[in-house]
Amino acid sequence: MKKELGIYIHIPFCTSRCPYCDFYSNAGCREDEISRYAAAVAAQLVQWSRMCGEYAVDTVYFGGGTPTLLSLRDFGLLMDALGGHYDIEPGAEISCECNTADAEYLRGLRSLGVNRLSIGAQSLDDDELRELGRVHNSADFVRTYNDAREAGFDNISADLMLGIPCQSRESLHMTLERLCALKPEHVSAYCLRIEESTPFGKAVGRLPLPPEDDIAEMYLGTIKFLAGQEIEQYEISNFARAGYECRHNLKYWNCDEYLGFGASAHSFFGSERFSCPRSLERYLGGEYIAGRTKPSPADLETEYVMLAMRRTAGLVADEYVGRFGVDPHEKYRGRFSEFVRRGLVTADMSGYRFTPRGMLVSNTVLSSILDL
Ligand code: SF4
Using a 6 Å cutoff on CB, does residue 25 contact ligand 1? yes
In this prediction, residue 372 has a pLDDT band, given cuts at 50, 70 and 90, of: confident
pTM of the model: 0.97
Ligand 1 binding pocket includes 122 (Cβ within 6 Å): no
Is the distance from the beta carbon of residue 238 to the nearest atom of ligand 1 less than 6 Å? Answer: no
List the residue whose alpha carbon is closest to atom 8 of ligand 1. 21
Domain boundaries, the chain: 3-252, 314-372
What pLDDT is attached to residue 371?
Answer: 79
3-state helix, strand, coil in the chain (%, to 5): 45, 25, 35
Determine the atom of ligand 1 nearest the C-alpha atom of 16.
Answer: 5
Cα torsion at 202, 69, 154, 265 (round to 10°)? Answer: -60
Beta strands 26-27; 13-14: pairing state: parallel
Whether residue 66 has its Cβ less than 6 Å from ligand 1: yes
In tens, the pLDDT along 165-191 reads: 999 999 999 999 999 999 999 999 999
Mean pLDDT of 133-157: 97
**Superfamily for the 3-252 domain:** Aldolase class I (3.20.20.70)
* CA pair distance 66, 120, nearest whole angstrom: 10
pLDDT score of 89 more than 90: yes
Lowest mean pLDDT: which of 77-81, 262-266, 280-284, 367-371? 367-371
Question: Is 314's C-beta closer than 6 angstroms to any atom of ligand 1?
Answer: no
Residue 163 has pLDDT above 80, yes or no: yes
- CA 241 to CA 244: how far, in whole Å? 6
63 lines ligand 1 (CB under 6 A): no
The values of phi and psi at residue 282, to 5°, are: -70, -40
10 Å Cβ neighbour count for 90?
A: 6
The number of helices, as runs of H, and strands, as runs of E, in the chain is 15, 17
Triad 255, 257, 262: Cα angle to 5°: 115
Among 8, 98, 118, residue whose Cα is nearest residue 59: 8
Ligand 1 neighbourhood includes 21 CB (under 6 angstroms): yes
Q: Which atom of ligand 1 is nearest to the CA of 65?
A: 3
* Centroid of ligand 1 to alpha carbon of 65 (angstroms): 5
Is 12 close to ligand 1, i.e. is its CB under 6 Å away?
no
**Dist. CA 24–CA 198, nearest whole Å:** 12
Separation of alpha carbons 307 and 315, rounded Å: 9
Q: CA 230: distance to chain centroid?
A: 21
20-40: pLDDT as tens digits: 999 999 998 999 999 999 999
Q: What is the pLDDT of residue 193?
A: 94
Choose which residue among 20, 24, 66 to substitute to test ligand 1 binding: the one with the highest number of ligand atoms within 8 A of its C-beta: 66
CB 132 less than 6 A from any atom of ligand 1: no
Give the atom of ligand 1 at the shortest distance from the alpha carbon of 120: 2
Residue 242, burial from CB neighbour count under 10 angstroms (0-12, 13-18, 19+): exposed
Q: Residue 130's pLDDT is what?
A: 97
